Amino acid sequence: MNSYYTEPHTFQIPVMGTGFTIDTPLKVAKYGISSVISLVDDTLIEQMRKFHSEKNNLPYSAIKTGMEDWRARRITSYLNLLDDLIKKDVSKLMDSSFEEGSDITKYFELLPESSLKQEYLKMKDLSAGEEKTFLQKHLKSQVVTGSIDVNIMTKLDNFPYIKGKMLDVKYTDASAALRGFAKSKLSSSMIFSAGLNPRLFDTINQYKDFLPDAFGKLKKRIVLKVSDFRSASIQGRALARKGLWVSEFRIESGLNCGGHAFASKGVLLGPVLEEFRKGKEKLIETLGSAFLKSGGDARVVADGQNITVQGGIGTSAEDKFLREQYELDGTGWATPFMLVPEVMNLDDDHLKKLSEAKKSDVYLSDASPLNVLFWNIGNSAAELARKARIAKGHPGSPCVNKHAAMNTEFTEIPLCTAGIPYQKKKLSALVKENLPKTLFERQKQFILDKACICHDLAGAATKTLGIDEKALTALTPGPNIINFSKISSLKEMVDHIYGRINLITSESRDHMFIKELELYVEQFKAKFDDIAIGFIVNEGKKQLVELGLNLLEGIAYYKELSGKFTKETKDSFLLALESLTLEVLAMNKKVEVLN
The number of distinct structural domains making up the chain is 2
Residue 518 is assigned to a structural domain of this protein:
yes
List CB contacts of 131: < 8 A, sequence separation 6 or more: none
Whether 104 and 94 have beta carbons less than 8 Å apart is answered as yes
Q: Report the share of the chain in percent with pLDDT over 90.
A: 93
Average pLDDT over residues 131-160: 96
| pLDDT tops 90 at residue 160 | no
Q: Give the other-Cβ count within 10 Å of 100's Cβ.
A: 8
In tens, the pLDDT along 271-288 reads 999 999 999 999 999 999
**Domain presence at residue 309:** yes
Q: In this predicted model, which residue has the larger pLDDT, 165 or 271?
A: 271
CB neighbours of residue 349 within 10 Å: 13
* Residue 284 forms part of a structural domain: yes
Long-range contacts of 529-532 (CB under 8 A, 24+ apart): 530/442, 531/594, 532/594
Residue 378 gets which letter from DSSP?
Answer: T
- Give, in order, the Cα–Cα distances in Å from 498 to each of 103, 113, 317: 20, 8, 9
Q: 315, 339, 363: which is the final residue of a domain? A: 339
Task: For residue 368, tell me if it sits in a domain.
Answer: no
Among residues 339, 373, 407, which one ends one of the domains? 339
| Residue 544 forms part of a structural domain | yes
Considering the domain boundaries, does residue 526 fall inside one?
Answer: yes
Supply the CATH number for residue 328's domain: 3.20.20
Tell me the HSE value of 166 on the side-chain side, using a 13 A CA sphere: 11
Determine contact, residues 454/416, Cβ cutoff 8 Å: no
| 573 lies in some domain | yes
294 falls within a domain = yes
Q: Do the Cβ atoms of 10 and 310 come closer than 8 Å? A: no
Q: How far apart (Å, rounded) are the C-alpha atoms in residues 562 and 567?
A: 9
Q: Is the pLDDT at 4 greater than 50, yes or no?
A: no
**Residue 407 DSSP label:** B
Confidence check: pLDDT of 187 > 60 = yes
492/486 Cα distance (integer angstroms): 10
Answer with the one of 322, 339, 356 that is the final residue of a domain. Answer: 339
d(CA 11, CA 33): 8
Determine the structural domain holding residue 154 and report its residue range: 12-82+139-339
Is residue 343 scored above 80 in pLDDT?
Answer: yes
DSSP state, residue 158:
P
